[in-house]
Chains A and B, each alone.
Chain A
Amino acid sequence: MSNLAEFFAMGGHGPYVWTAYGLTGAVLILLFLTPILGRRRLVQAEARRRRREET
């Protein structure tokens, strides 16, 4: 357990290292959410259009 705590402490540099990695992770998630959500919206819009034309 102390090994794990040591790993997270990073010899006192933990806050710097984890902030840097956390921010980068957040940016990567955001970068991929944009096209995924955009695509979902476009697919839904197309489905709505089809339903309108059928009725």
Chain B
Amino acid sequence: MSWTFFHKLGSPKWFYEISGKLLPWVAAFSLLALVIGIVWGLVFAPEDYQQGNSFRIIYIHVPAAILAQSCYMMLAVAGVVGLVWRMKLADVALQCAAPIGAWMTLVALFTGSIWGKPTWGTYWEWDARLTSMLILLFLYFGIIALRMAISNRDTAAKATAVMAIVGVINIPIIKYSVDWWNTLHQPATFTITEKPAMPPEMWLPLLVMVLAFYGLFTLNLLMRMRLEVLRREHKTRWARAALESNT
């Protein structure tokens, strides 16, 4: 592999051009998947024989929870890339993804809590899965707060990168919490080794919703990163041209 590709990745101008071309495709894909997934999940998927219709919350709860964890792992990878190769764009990605991850964690906690009431009889239980997800939320808050507290951009980049990398230990804890401890929470819906315990007419719309959430995450992240790149480069000629024509 040629290294020029890797160096180009670090160029804000190159990123801005490529992401601009990508944006409409990502938007079209995610909106389509979102509409299909919601209609399929809310209208056509059969109701659960034990939980009734409250189980339809799964179509937003599981994608949000998966995204919350994927996003954190992405932060850690961006942290490593930023620390090792001093790539500025990695820091932009880290900074822009953290609030999205925090919101996704909140959505997972909220929807899980609402789902818990009719299913478990309680909104909240201090069990391993719920508690480790709450810790994930605080890790996101920590990264965001750390960024705000340090005014020097390079120092802030290093500090948040280190915090993202250290916090990644929480991800396997979330994943295996349902196996290691007694919990009310049901085990994972999708695993690589086994078939889902649900029938296809229930898990297929879930798969579509997971793809939709990944698409929306990518779209949102690209939009935020493009804005941040323009903010950082606003004195350069290309950024001024982009702002003038609003492209």
Chain B residues positioned under 8 Å from A39 (CB to CB): 223, 226-227, 230
Is the CB of A20 closer than 8 A to any CB of chain B? yes
For A28-55 the 0/1 string (1 means CB < 8 A from B) is 1011101110110011001100100000
Q: Are A38 and B227 in contact (CB under 8 A)?
A: yes
Closest to A25 in B: B60
Chain A residues positioned under 8 Å from B38 (CB to CB): 21
Shortest distance from the beta carbon of A30 to any chain B beta carbon, whole Å:
7
Interface secondary structure of A, over-half rule: helix
> Interface residues of A, CB < 8 Å — how many?
28
Q: Are A17 and B47 in contact (CB under 8 A)?
A: no
Size band of the B side of the interface? 35 or more
Stretch at the interface among B134-142, B150-158, B185-193, B239-247: B239-247
For B219-244 the 0/1 string (1 means CB < 8 A from A) is 01001101100110010000010011
User: Given contacts A13-B52, A23-B110, could you give 11 more A-B pairs where the C-beta distance is less than 8 Å?
Assistant: A10-B53, A10-B56, A13-B53, A16-B114, A16-B115, A20-B115, A31-B220, A34-B224, A42-B231, A46-B240, A47-B244
Q: 30 A-B contacts, Cβ less than 8 Å apart?
A: A10-B56, A12-B52, A13-B52, A16-B114, A16-B115, A16-B117, A16-B118, A17-B53, A20-B110, A20-B111, A21-B38, A21-B57, A21-B60, A23-B107, A23-B110, A23-B114, A24-B107, A24-B111, A27-B103, A27-B107, A31-B220, A32-B223, A35-B220, A35-B223, A38-B227, A39-B227, A42-B227, A42-B230, A43-B243, A47-B243
